[in-house]
Amino acid sequence: MEDNNTALGFSPERSTHSFSKLGGSSQTKRSETALYKRILAFLGKLIFVSAFIILLFETFIPFLIGHFSEKLVFDFYSGMLYGTGGEPVSLLLSIICAFLCFGLFIFAGILIKKIPVRVTFPLGISSKRMFLTGIAAAASIAAINVCYRKLFGVPEIFFDTSPEVFFTPVTIIRVVIYALVIPILCELAFRGVLLQLLRQFGDVSAVITSAFLSTVVVCALVNADITGIHGEMFPQYMIMMFPMWFLAAICAGYFTFTSGSVITPIAMSVFISCGNIAYILLSELQNDAGVYITSLVCFAAGFFAVLYVMREHSDEVELRFNHKVRVGTKIFTVISPGFLVPVVLLVMSCFLPN
């Protein structure tokens, strides 16, 4: 009998992977369908807990802190280098919320489902060519993002770029969280645990499902004070940026499989996030022509690099479609209350007033 641990790796040629805690080693259609439903029900519970955590940190805890006055804030967060003002406290709460939400998926996979760490987070890059192509794709996405923001007037309200504010501890921490911590945690949770759980039912559906859920979670967390977005402009910002974030998540999932390593989506996400920050800083120069020219060069370089690899190395770019679970079963399971209701709650948390 084949060892389960061996069958869990990022191997496109394998038709299925089995998790002993989720459904045993049976390869029949019935067991595959039952296993898929159990995994989606499990994910529904995780999403529900994530929505509850976000609602807690966006509503009840701030109310509690305000109710007990600044003294409670000072006692609870004593020792923090940036003091006890409202903005630092709100940022700290957002950071804790992000760690809890992403950590929930990570530890659920490792501790509850006992997926080996080396399998969930493969570090060895099996295809350096696809790793570099992923970085090139990230450059194109970052360039598209810049032009998209300019053309559609997406609000540029991430950070105050004035020197007296940008180089304060609170803003620096916010930039580090946005550019490094959030991308790393997000990719470990969704391109690590979630992608591996769903891959046994087809690479394509795994990439799409993980991309959608990660985009919704990121939207809900960005509604906090990590990026400094406030007030009535946020729903407009989130709706306009959702397609870009979803596109980036699709690409991240794709290059996770084709490169064989979770390092690839992490590098891509960090690259795109840093590109967003660079755009915000450069936009202060009021040089639209320079921004468009730079974006065009980055897009062209990335696009032609990806196109070349797709044409010359097609054997490395294929993904599997559906396995034994039919598309109709997948759709029915996704719209079941156990999965759909938590997702709706998570989406609703994106529109909470902050």
Residue 299 lies in a domain: yes
How far does CA 14 lie from the centroid of its chain?
A: 26
Give the dihedral of Cα atoms 236, 240, 243, 244; nearest 10 deg: -120
Q: What is the pLDDT of residue 332?
A: 85
Cβ–Cβ under 8 Å, residues 12 and 257: yes
Q: What is the pLDDT of residue 269?
A: 93
Number of domains forming the structure of the chain: 1
How far, CA to CA in Å, does 334 sit from each of 79, 100, 195? Answer: 45, 24, 16
**Which residues have CB under 8 Å from 316's CB, separation 6+?**
127, 129, 130, 258, 309
Q: What is the pLDDT of residue 351?
A: 73
Could you give phi then psi for residue 318, rounded to 5 degrees?
Answer: -85, 145
Residue 331 lies in a domain: yes
Residue 126 lies in a domain: yes
Residue 20 lies in a domain: no
Q: What is the pLDDT of residue 201?
A: 84
Q: What is the pLDDT of residue 49?
A: 93
Alpha helices in the chain (DSSP H): 29-55, 61-67, 69-76, 86-107, 117-120, 128-152, 163-166, 169-176, 182-188, 195-199, 203-222, 233-259, 263-282, 288-312, 327-334, 337-349
- Gap between the terminal Cα atoms of the chain: 54
Compute the distance between CA of residue 124 and CA of residue 66 in angstroms, rounded to an integer. Answer: 48
b/e map of 8-28 (b: 16 or more CB within 10 Å)? bbbeeeeebbbbeebbeeeee
What tokens appear for 204 in the block? 């394509």
Residue 135 lies in a domain: yes
Residue whose pair of structure tokens reads 């969280």 in the numeric block: 177
Range of the domain at 135: 26-349
How far, CA to CA in Å, does 72 sit from each of 35, 76, 131, 321, 351? Answer: 47, 6, 48, 54, 28
What tokens appear for 24 in the block? 């045993």
pLDDT, averaged per 10 consecutive residues of the chain (354 residues), comes to 38 39 51 85 92 83 65 39 53 82 86 71 84 91 83 65 67 82 90 86 88 88 56 68 89 91 93 81 67 79 83 75 75 87 85 64
Residue whose pair of structure tokens reads 């060892």 in the numeric block: 3
What tokens appear for 333 in the block? 């399971």
Compute the distance between CA of residue 288 and CA of residue 282 in angstroms, rounded to an integer. Answer: 9
Cβ–Cβ under 8 Å, residues 159 and 280: yes
Residue 78 lies in a domain: yes
Residue 268 lies in a domain: yes
Residue 1 lies in a domain: no
Q: What is the pLDDT of residue 162?
A: 64
Write down the pTM of the prediction: 0.81
